[in-house]
Amino acid sequence: MTRQRAAAPAALATMHARVTNRVVRKAVDRALAEHAARSGSEVADVVELALPGFGLDQAGRLSFPAGPATALIEVAPDGSVHQRWRLVDQSERSTPPASLGAAHPAEVAAASALVAEIRSALAEERRRMEERMGSGRTWSERTWQVRFADHPIRRHFALRLLWRVGPAGEPGETAFRDEGGWLTCDGRHLPAEDGRVVSLWHPAEAPETEVLAWRAAIGSRAVEQPVKQTHREVFRPQSRDLDPAADRRFAGRVVSHGSLRALLRDRGWAVPALGAWDQGDEATAFRTFDDGVRAELRYQAVEVVPTGARQERARLVAVRFVSLPGPGRRVDPLRLPLSEVPARVFSESIRDVSLVVVVAEDARSD
């Protein structure tokens, strides 16, 4: 029973990363919240602590006997997973000999299954890193070190991304983590200090000069970032929309209803369907960010279709933002002027919608 309880957060975290069905996702989120409440922690902490290490060492390597041979598994610096087999004569090969598979099928199958699990965990963590690009979450430097830099799976993301490091409540410095510590764009190592916090850097919160300098620095180090960061598309409110509480840059664009739902759900949005049996001729998709802001995309049916028929196209209307109730926040939901929306939340929301528009334009050009 204890083992089952320990496995439950990991299973829930996996479902949280994979599930796009709105009803199922809501049930998973509820279960995660209940587990977090029982353990006296936040949901984000539960998800982060649930990521297994699979027995990998600090360098991302693992070996175990498989009959007379040894299975070698390694997560490379670029995040790819490799499997090798060391035979009795100390030679190595990428696939097990047929004789080994016949004599020790369980061990060979276990190695292949473990490689698949590690690859799946890396894919799930990549999705979480994409979600974190919209988050203002901070970690104490010690917590960040344990959960990111020292973790055999998550370190492959932590050491290839940019972070903000500094005292709590201050902007801090943008830095890259290498084996020697925090390295700034101009090559300085930040001195060790107590009480610092770490947050994920987003280009929407940085001046253009800083973004360009880091692009050059990352390029000179030949670092392939696991998620788009320094070259990430940035969106800011247009001057005409600063006072109104909605962004209308994509108003009137007609897109595939199916693509709209699939792409946004993959980005963490709840996306109701248009149609007589669903939301009718208008619907609102939404994505909730962890700083208490919800982005809402309004869209409409383009054609009138018979009851029960599928809506093939949708017309985009506007994206608006709502401040949600919570500790230290307003009691009732309140629409926010675009000038009050956190820069990374605004940019990530409009970027998500822009992906739908890009797909629609690509489809028309084919």
pLDDT in tens, 313-351: 999 999 999 998 765 555 567 889 998 999 999 999 999
Q: Reduce the DSSP state of residue 3 to 3 states and report it.
A: helix
- DSSP annotation string for 174-217: EEEEETTEEE-TTSPBPPP-TTEEEEE--GGGS-HHHHHHHHHH
pLDDT class for 362, splitting at 50, 70, 90?
Answer: low
Q: DSSP state, 230? A: T
CB-CB neighbours of 180 under 10 Å: 7
pLDDT class for 115, splitting at 50, 70, 90?
Answer: very high
Percent above pLDDT 90 for the chain = 63
Of 143-147, 188-192, 268-272, 334-338, where does the model show the most confidence?
143-147
pLDDT at 4: 39
Nearest 10 degrees: CA dihedral of 128, 129, 132, 134? -110
pTM of the model: 0.87
Q: How far does Cα 39 stand from its chain's mean position? A: 24
Q: Please state at what angle helix 43-50 crosses helix 2-18, rounded to 10 degrees.
A: 100
Q: What is the pLDDT of residues 150-205, one digit of tens each?
A: 999 999 999 999 999 999 988 899 999 988 899 999 989 999 899 999 999 999 99
Q: Above 70 in pLDDT, residue 308?
A: no
The encoded tokens of residue 98 equal 């047929």
pLDDT at 171: 83
pLDDT class for 359, splitting at 50, 70, 90?
Answer: confident
Query: Of 40, 60, 58, 57, which Cα lies nearest the Cα of 49?
Result: 40
Strands (E), the chain: 61-66, 69-75, 81-86, 92-93, 138-140, 162-167, 173-178, 181-183, 196-200, 246-247, 254-256, 282-288, 293-301, 313-323, 334-335
Q: Are 286 and 294 in contact (CB under 8 A)?
A: yes
Rounded alpha-carbon distances, angstroms, from residue 319 to 196, 242, 275, 332, 348: 36, 13, 21, 20, 12
Tokens 């090559």 label which residue? Answer: 187
pLDDT class for 3, splitting at 50, 70, 90?
Answer: very low
pLDDT at 13: 72
pLDDT class for 5, splitting at 50, 70, 90?
Answer: very low
Q: What is the pLDDT of residues 219-265, one digit of tens each?
A: 998 889 999 999 999 999 987 755 667 999 999 999 999 999 999 99
CB-CB neighbours of 296 under 10 Å: 19
pLDDT at 24: 76
Q: Above 60 in pLDDT, residue 288?
A: yes
Q: Which conformational region is residue 261 in: left (phi greater than 0), alpha (psi within -120 to 50 degrees), or beta?
A: alpha
Percent above pLDDT 70 for the chain = 89
pLDDT at 167: 93
pLDDT at 175: 96
pLDDT class for 278, splitting at 50, 70, 90?
Answer: low
Indicate the helix (H) or strand (E) that contains 130: helix 105-132
Q: Above 50 in pLDDT, residue 67?
A: yes
